[in-house]
Amino acid sequence: MNWIIEENTDNRTIEQLSKELNVNKIISSMLVKRGIKTFNQAKDFFRPKINQLHDPFLMKDMNEAVNRILQAIENKEPMMIFGDYDVDGTSSVALLSSFLKDIGAKLSTYIPDRNNEGYGISLKAIDLAEKNKETLIIALDCGIKANDQVQYALKKEIDFIICDHHNPSNQLPNAYAILNPKRKDCKYPFKELCGCGVGFKLIQAINQRKGLEMENIIHYLDLVAVAIAADIVPLIGENRILTYVGLQVINSNPRLGLHCLLQNNNKKEFNVGDLMFYVGPRINAAGRMDHASLALELLLEKELDKGKKLAEKIEELNIQRREIEKNITEQALKKIDNENKLNSNSTVVFENSWNKGVIGIVASRLIEKHYKPTIVFCKSKEGNLTGSARSIKDVDLYKILEKCKANILKFGGHKYAAGLTIEENDYASFKESFEKAVGDYINNKLPENEIRIESKIELSSITPKFFRILNQFEPFGPGNRRPIFLSEHLSLKGGLNKIGKNREHLKLSVSQESDKTFSAIGFWLSEKATSISSNSTFSMLYTIDENTWNGITTIQLKIKDIK
């Protein structure tokens, strides 16, 4: 594991900002690295406000989308709200359907079955819309490549509005309106919205057109915050504002479904990490193990007893998901070992019986063990192979898959995550072409896994004031990572303990040339005990957190690595 210190050479700005804000240079350097160079920029960063959002009508086709929806409501046209089966998709459907119902829309919701219909707009949904005499379908978190499906709907006199954030092809679908900040002809200032973020811009625009205040739609931001966290989009610009305010909603007055989902977690206040690692996997478990409509039902539920039952059902599904994921990961690792291709540029594995709902998570687990672009395939009900792909730092998966198009039936996604379908007979040739495409992209030299260090600091810098200011950098996520600090010449104070059921975690106390001692814990790092001796000093990477025990809260260091 490489340790990379992110140097900051803009010393004049760091010095100036330190004086203006009355903070130490560690804090001002962190701000400058995040593009914050003035007092006013710092004020906006630390106190994001909803009125800092861009005008939604700057987005291409927004005017057309709003007009068509309001026309449908006025004419009492029934419509369908369609969304993907992941957290972003289900949150988007919950957001838009509840908002439109509140302003008088007649609508149904539709989320495809992950196993039977797969990703994207399904013809089954369009046929159902025709049967129900629905003349408008609004697709969320999908649809940007649904050229054939939109054409199919048009023949049935059904209009489409697409709200997506995935990379478009050169030829866009012939939809009534396409809201996607990544469109080449879209001048919207912020390009990194998730699907639910695009959905929120749509309700913001409708709300604005109706002359209503922004306060009218703030309560929907709990859904947007969950979607942003789960979809791992950069927490900068509008995403930071939406998440910051969304977390305030979650921590003060969340919708009943989220309240039921969170009630078994004893935390008083939730952050992005909780949404990413606690809420997101549970919402996803519904679509992975059963049907995403369960998660949608929970997010829309108004009755407490029903909400609790749905949350319990989803918790059971999440437990099942974890067990299946663990078993498949173990099988996949054995396959990799048996194939003896540890020097390859990529990992591609396939097994007929693997569960389609968890192969994306398995791909991520394999990268933790073998740091290279990875695809995990299973067999779909149609007889083709469905794959979930994940990538590593600075390796653009989407561009690589474009080079393999000759062996792919369909694909879509982002730089670091994608889904694809291939014919079973093409598996060997695809595997070969993917390996070559990755090799060409990286010049046959895989980047090493690395930890990027915010700053080298002395333990004496860690004061209650420093920790308070550090917390104001929240919400943390891509684009605003939780800072990892390096401290050198540390000494062990007292014992070093291996804790946990299998003694897999590490607990110790450290000091640095002073009497000031900090408790530190390293999850899954018990093997690092060999790097520490009471007779010599060591270096440690860590984040700064707090720990509450017996009602007493203290600062605790969370270890990332030790040398």
Express each pLDDT in 226-281 by its tens digit: 999 998 899 999 999 999 999 999 999 999 999 999 987 778 889 999 999 899 99
Provide mean pLDDT across the span 414-419. 87
Q: What is the DSSP string of 176-241?
A: SEEE-TTSTT---S-----HHHHHHHHHHHHHHHTT--GGGGGGGHHHHHHHHHHHT---SHHHHH
pLDDT in tens, 116-160: 887 889 999 999 999 999 999 999 999 999 999 999 999 999 999
- How far is 3 from 454, CA to CA, in rounded Å? 11
Provide mean pLDDT across the span 172-196. 97
Provide mean pLDDT across the span 437-455. 91
Q: What is the DSSP string of 340-378?
A: T-TTSS-EEEE-TTS-GGGHHHHHHHHHHHS-S-EEEEE
Whether CATH 3.40.30.10 fits 452-563:
no
Q: Which CATH class is domain 341-442?
A: alpha beta
Provide mean pLDDT across the span 345-360. 93
- pLDDT number for residue 345: 93
Q: What residue spans define the domains of the chain?
A: 56-235, 341-442, 452-563
- Rounded to two decimals, the pTM is 0.87
- How far is 105 from 203, CA to CA, in rounded Å? 13
Provide mean pLDDT across the span 473-481. 91
Q: Specify whether the CB–CB gap between 449 and 371 falls below 8 A.
A: yes
pLDDT in tens, 549-559: 877 888 999 99
Report, at the CATH architecture level, how domain 56-235 is classified. Alpha-Beta Complex (3.90)
pLDDT in tens, 497-506: 898 888 889 9
Provide mean pLDDT across the span 306-328. 95
